[in-house]
Structure 1
Amino acid sequence: MTLPEVTPPGFPPPYPAGAARFAPGAAVRVRPGDAPGHLRTPWYLRGRAGRIERICGAFANPEELAYHRDGQPPRVLYRVRFTMAELWGPGAEQPADTLDAEIFEHWLEPMETGDAA
């Protein structure tokens, strides 16, 4: 697995982020699996590893808002960077190219130190 390099932005998150669990540059994996209902995490990212590019802020949970609930407590939103090699495997046309996706904290888990290459 090859994780992308990131240069964290030189400014604080544009919105309050509360107690963010991850810092820019941290290696994370998107939780695999399924859940019933309205989900805001693309299937092709589930189970994949990336790096936190930035903290976007804390917002109401859109998975709850979709059902006309209040979305509380707020969830921290991150921009996570993935390599094409991580997403599409050895057949990736440009393996070093990257994709950034904004993913809420409850979909992310820390990677073990030995997992990140």
Structure 2
Amino acid sequence: MKLQHHLGGLENLGPVNVEPRVFVAPWEKRIFGIHTVMMAESDHLSDAAPAYPVKELPTTFRNTWTWASLRTGAEDMQPFAYFKYRYYEKWLMGISQFFIDQGYVTAKELADRTAWYAAQPDAPLPDHPNPAIRQQIESYLEQGDSPYQARPHAARFVPGQKVRVADPDAVDHTRLPGYLRNKQGVIDVVYPGAYGYFVSTGPDGIGAPMPVYRVAFPAETIWGAAKSEPNTVIYADLFDAYLCDSTNQ
């Protein structure tokens, strides 16, 4: 995974921010709301579990937007820029760039509108309530979009089996923590059913439903005994595509 995510074992990154508030400033709530509305109107929900009537929604938004979309935008940031900005500032940049890339707004239009509101901070924001969209958002918040599939998928591994984490090519977005690549662990739990992912990650290997495992790693095998507390075990939920049999290795 790229530098700015899953920073396990990296040193000299400065103090950890222990801010307990979810939203530090009022505008952050609006960014979270925009992201939620985009997910609730996402094209992929027509084939989700449960299925939603998104094709009938009175909206001009006609794209797929999921947590994977948000994370891809953040992971694609230049690492030093990533560390520079606050959490919801990164959300704002990712969402803004998405709307520009998809042609909903031009960079100049966005810049001009930003400058206009900066000069008139008390000006009212657009407000066009729509009952159908509101109902869709409420349904999405209540029911979500489950990646779980109940139909049986044969699991390659069983509890107690030794496995090695793969080292796939770097891609725009992955669910594999970088510090676990090439590490050996033991299957702790085989979760029932199978789990898909919002998007296909290509050579990274996830997308279609597959078994998911909880894998146990002694901390010293990841970061070394000198940097690990004694008797510490790290657990990670990993897709089947990220694991290899290490019995004979």
Larger radius of gyration: 2
In structure 2, what is the Cα distance between the partners aligned to 1:76 and 1:60?
Answer: 9
Correspondence 1:30 to 2:30: no
Q: Structure 1: give runs of 5+ residues left out of the alignment.
A: 1-14, 66-70
Identity %: 34
Correspondence 1:45 to 2:180: yes
Q: Structure 2: give runs of 5+ residues left out of the alignment.
A: 1-149, 202-206
Distance 1:37 1:27, change over 3 A: same
Following superposition, the deviation at residue 62 of structure 1 comes to 4.4
Following superposition, the deviation at residue 94 of structure 1 comes to 1.8
Off by >3 Å, runs of 4+ in structure 1: none
Following superposition, the deviation at residue 17 of structure 1 comes to 4.8
Say whether the 8 Å CA contact 1:40–1:63 is kept in structure 2. no
Which residue of the partner structure matches residue 64 of structure 1? 200
Following superposition, the deviation at residue 84 of structure 1 comes to 0.7
Distance 1:60 1:88, change over 3 A: same
> Out of 70, 76, 80, which is 2:211 matched to?
76
Q: TM-score, normalised by structure 1?
A: 0.70
In structure 1, what is the Cα distance between the partners aligned to 2:160 and 2:151?
Answer: 19
The two structures, once aligned, show a CA RMSD in angstroms of 2.0
Q: Structure 1: which amino acid aligns with 2:196?
A: A
Instruction: Please state which structure has a larger fraction of its residues in helix.
Output: 2
In structure 2, what is the Cα distance between the partners aligned to 1:37 and 1:86?
Answer: 27
Q: Structure 1: which amino acid aligns with 2:243?
A: L
Instruction: Please state which structure has a larger fraction of its residues in strand.
Output: 1
Q: Structure 2: which amino acid aligns with 1:91?
A: A
